[in-house]
Copies of this chain bind each other. A is one copy, B any other.
Amino acid sequence: MKYKVSFLVISMLLIATLHAQKIMGFTDANATRQRDWEKQYDAQLNATNQDTWMQFLTSHPHHVGSPQDKANAEYMAGLFRSWGYQTEIDEYYVLFPTPKFRSLELLGPKPYKAKLEEPTLKEDKTSGQKSEQLPSYNAYSADGDVTAELVFVNRGIPADYEELERMGISVQGKIVIARYGGSWRGIKPKVAFEHGAIGCIIYSDPQDDGYGQGDVYPEGAFRPKDGVQRGSVMDMPVYPGDPLTPGVGATKDAKRLDRSQAVTIMKIPVIPISYEDALPLLQSLGGPVVPAAWRGGLPITYHAGPGKEKVHLKLEFNWDQKTLYDVIAKLPGTELPDEWIIRGNHHDGWVNGAADPISGMVSELDEAKAIAELVKKGLKLKRTLVYCAWDGEEPALLGSTEWSEDHQEELKKKAVFYLNTDGNSRGFVGASGSHTLEPFFNEVANDVIDPQTGVTIKERKYASDFVNGDKTARTKLIGNKNIKLGALGAGSDWSGFLQFLGIASMDIGFGGEGRGGEYHSIYDSYDHFVKFKDPGFQYGVTLSKTAGRLMMRMANADVLPFDFNSFYKTVADYVTELKTLVDNTRSETEQENKMIQDKLYDLAKDPTKNYQSPKPKDIVPYLNFSDLENSMVQLKNSAEEFQKQYGNATQLPVDKQKELNEILYKAERSLINDKGLPRRSWYKHQIYAPGYYTGYGVKTLPGIREAIEQRNWKEAQENIGIVSKTMDVYTVQVQQATGVIMKKPF
């Protein structure tokens, strides 16, 4: 009996070990070889190199058009070439405005002229490079010279304007002041303009990334009183990239719009300011005290306005064309050179840009170098690796968008996968992307060790999610360590690949323990980074381990590791969410209308205050989800059938594998609808898009979801039909993939 038990235990251990050695889409033999290479790969990674490269790349401001921007591109191209990559620098020519004149002042008896200046700190050696720095501004703001009363609009999102309306406050003809956060910054002036405002000020409230979060720089990591968040306010939820060349590469001879026709350029002047500059402006406001949720961390009573005194904002920009330098470095595949595994991180920064973006860039460089070393030692990668260092991400995802537009036909054919990073910090792995890739990512996350705790990054992420999760989150997590991929909205360089072209994409990075308030300021520097973000580049190396595995496994898989079941389950959840959203909107509307009818708002309000009860809303019809639900059943059945067969696919003959793989990676293309989303045809993906009114905030099944949110029931119903048809086409790909496997002669 004892013997039998031991035997059983040993057998189980062996099976477990063997199982642990498996890699999705690899034959057992290839998986073993792959793991051997991965061990060698880890040994090649070098934190010191990452540190050295960061010192060079952040040594001077390196925004679009700066000498260091070009120098960095050439430096990296030189590195890639020295490692054996076929490297070129692709140039594009884009509209990139920079400040010519900036002035903001409070008028009246206690005038205040905003400093608009981030001081040099002796503790930060690059902070004094004044002549090279871009001053604090919002790129793609309009020129303007406006004088008006000021209104505080909280985050400046549509819900805030509903609240202002209830307070009886209009921003028509006013300048608004909004605090950063709660949406992508470009939403704030866009919504302000839609409500009639003539200027927009955006400030960093100390509650969000200043002293309210922790000690400020240089003592701590958070935003000091003069720190300003630069950033683009282009209307990227309509289209990213050069505003003059939507949909095509901004090559020298590309056909360009006149600037006046470019809808993504903001219509009113916009300026970002520090909380020291914001204080006298906010203090000058009269009107009602704001709702509790609108209060920030300044030592004042926040009022909505309008201000007792007017504000004068004057902005002029140089509307120049600048050259972008995208570094593109290829390592051709030995068997399947026309299947591309693409990797990107941007290299331009708003100023010295250490955390954003160089921390991710040096991790990518280390990864590329290590792979090249392995190749020299005999590693053969079936598919082509394409390592990219994008320029102009900060202003508008310029470099990646123009490149993906310029190479769209080739990419549609060849691109298997796009892996993005954009800066890195210390802590827990975060990952978003196409949900076909969720099991693939989890397999890698289970193989990478967290440098601080010695457990896998997957285990550590689970621990963090569980400990910090609320009751609902914990209930979902019990017995389920799978890392759920987030959905990709906007925010970095995947948009051209995923949302314009339908290339399965991911974005990964570490964070949570290196929080700070340096974002888009002169204080995002090497000195700040090595003190507060990732001292010793331990997580830079861990990111290289993670991303490198994703790249090499994707490049070498016998059968590409796409999982339709994971995709099905995720989309099915989205459909359920939408049905619930409609039902909740309906019952909330009914309740709200009844409350209005019963005069509850009138009775509950303070009669001494000018508070308006809300107006009744149109009732919510029942939408017909049945087409979509039937399509989802088809997808479910097909995905499950494919999953049953997937294990056999590594045994297919090479030509069949090639046929299968092409179906697998092109399946994501069928999620693209050439007409694009309503009112923004550039965004073609039917599952993931940035929110039209949230920006960064992703909207899944965006055609349907945003129509519901905007109470456009006809459009919602139409988009249910469109998504349903999209799912049907996708299901056909899944069925074809299954067919290829089943025809295999055993």
Q: List 24 A-B contacts (CB under 8 A).
A: A206-B299, A211-B299, A213-B301, A214-B301, A297-B299, A298-B299, A299-B299, A452-B607, A453-B603, A453-B607, A460-B603, A460-B604, A462-B600, A463-B598, A463-B599, A463-B600, A463-B601, A463-B603, A464-B603, A467-B595, A467-B600, A467-B601, A467-B604, A468-B604
- In the complex the two chains form, what is the Cα distance from A195 to B236 in whole Å? 56
Minimum distance in angstroms from A266 CB to a CB of chain B: 32
**Which residues from chain A sit less than 8 Å from chain B, CB to CB?**
206, 211-216, 220, 222, 289, 295, 297-301, 427, 452-453, 455, 459-460, 462-464, 466-468, 474, 513, 591, 595, 598-604, 606-608
CB-CB under 8 A for A301 and B216, given A474-B591, A513-B608:
yes
> Is A464 a contact of B604 with CB atoms below 8 Å?
yes
CB-CB under 8 A for A595 and B220, given A299-B299, A513-B606, A603-B453:
no
Contacts of A462 in B (CB 8 A): 600
> Is A215 a contact of B467 with CB atoms below 8 Å?
no
Contacts of A598 in B (CB 8 A): 463
Contacts of A214 in B (CB 8 A): 289, 301
Minimum distance in angstroms from A593 CB to a CB of chain B: 14
- In the complex the two chains form, what is the Cα distance from A455 to B604 in whole Å? 11
CB-CB under 8 A for A301 and B455, given A468-B604, A600-B467:
no
- In the complex the two chains form, what is the Cα distance from A550 to B298 in whole Å? 47
Contacts of A460 in B (CB 8 A): 603-604
- In the complex the two chains form, what is the Cα distance from A591 to B206 in whole Å? 36
Minimum distance in angstroms from A297 CB to a CB of chain B: 7
Minimum distance in angstroms from A607 CB to a CB of chain B: 5
> Is B607 a contact of A301 with CB atoms below 8 Å?
no
Minimum distance in angstroms from A239 CB to a CB of chain B: 37
Contacts of A464 in B (CB 8 A): 603-604
CB-CB under 8 A for A289 and B206, given A513-B608, A591-B474, A608-B513:
no
- In the complex the two chains form, what is the Cα distance from A289 to B513 in whole Å? 13
Most buried by B among A214, A427, A468: A214
Most buried by B among A301, A460, A606: A301
Contacts of A427 in B (CB 8 A): 606
Closest B residue to A594 by beta carbon equals B478
> Is A301 a contact of B211 with CB atoms below 8 Å?
yes
Minimum distance in angstroms from A735 CB to a CB of chain B: 42
- In the complex the two chains form, what is the Cα distance from A598 to B299 in whole Å? 43
> Is A301 a contact of B459 with CB atoms below 8 Å?
no
> Is A455 a contact of B603 with CB atoms below 8 Å?
yes
Contacts of A513 in B (CB 8 A): 606, 608
Contacts of A300 in B (CB 8 A): 211
Closest B residue to A279 by beta carbon equals B299
- In the complex the two chains form, what is the Cα distance from A670 to B321 in whole Å? 88
Contacts of A602 in B (CB 8 A): 453, 463
> Is A463 a contact of B604 with CB atoms below 8 Å?
yes
Contacts of A603 in B (CB 8 A): 453, 455, 459-460, 463-464
Minimum distance in angstroms from A179 CB to a CB of chain B: 15
Contacts of A289 in B (CB 8 A): 213-215
Closest B residue to A303 by beta carbon equals B215
Minimum distance in angstroms from A659 CB to a CB of chain B: 44
Contacts of A298 in B (CB 8 A): 299
- In the complex the two chains form, what is the Cα distance from A211 to B300 in whole Å? 6
Contacts of A600 in B (CB 8 A): 462-463, 466-467
Which 8 pairs show the lowest CB-CB distances between chains A and B?
A463-B603, A467-B604, A463-B604, A463-B600, A299-B299, A464-B604, A211-B301, A513-B606
- In the complex the two chains form, what is the Cα distance from A518 to B96 in whole Å? 55
Contact with A220, one of B215, B301, B453, B599 (Cβ below 8 angstroms): B301
Contacts of A222 in B (CB 8 A): 301
Closest B residue to A295 by beta carbon equals B212
Most buried by B among A211, A462, A468: A211
Contacts of A474 in B (CB 8 A): 591
- In the complex the two chains form, what is the Cα distance from A77 to B238 in whole Å? 77
> Is B463 a contact of A215 with CB atoms below 8 Å?
no
Closest B residue to A222 by beta carbon equals B301
- In the complex the two chains form, what is the Cα distance from A252 to B300 in whole Å? 52
- In the complex the two chains form, what is the Cα distance from A216 to B303 in whole Å? 13
- In the complex the two chains form, what is the Cα distance from A462 to B601 in whole Å? 11
Closest B residue to A289 by beta carbon equals B214
Contacts of A297 in B (CB 8 A): 297, 299
Minimum distance in angstroms from A157 CB to a CB of chain B: 21
Closest B residue to A455 by beta carbon equals B603
- In the complex the two chains form, what is the Cα distance from A212 to B215 in whole Å? 21
Minimum distance in angstroms from A585 CB to a CB of chain B: 14
Minimum distance in angstroms from A267 CB to a CB of chain B: 35
> Is B206 a contact of A595 with CB atoms below 8 Å?
no
- In the complex the two chains form, what is the Cα distance from A608 to B222 in whole Å? 17
Most buried by B among A216, A299, A467, A468: A299
List 8 other contacts, CB 8 Å, given A214-B289, A453-B607.
Answer: A214-B301, A215-B289, A215-B301, A460-B603, A463-B602, A463-B604, A464-B604, A467-B604
Minimum distance in angstroms from A277 CB to a CB of chain B: 15
Minimum distance in angstroms from A512 CB to a CB of chain B: 8
Minimum distance in angstroms from A580 CB to a CB of chain B: 14
Contacts of A591 in B (CB 8 A): 474
- In the complex the two chains form, what is the Cα distance from A524 to B524 in whole Å? 49
Closest B residue to A451 by beta carbon equals B607
- In the complex the two chains form, what is the Cα distance from A298 to B452 in whole Å? 35
- In the complex the two chains form, what is the Cα distance from A462 to B595 in whole Å? 11
Minimum distance in angstroms from A57 CB to a CB of chain B: 26
Most buried by B among A222, A452, A468: A452
Contacts of A453 in B (CB 8 A): 602-603, 607
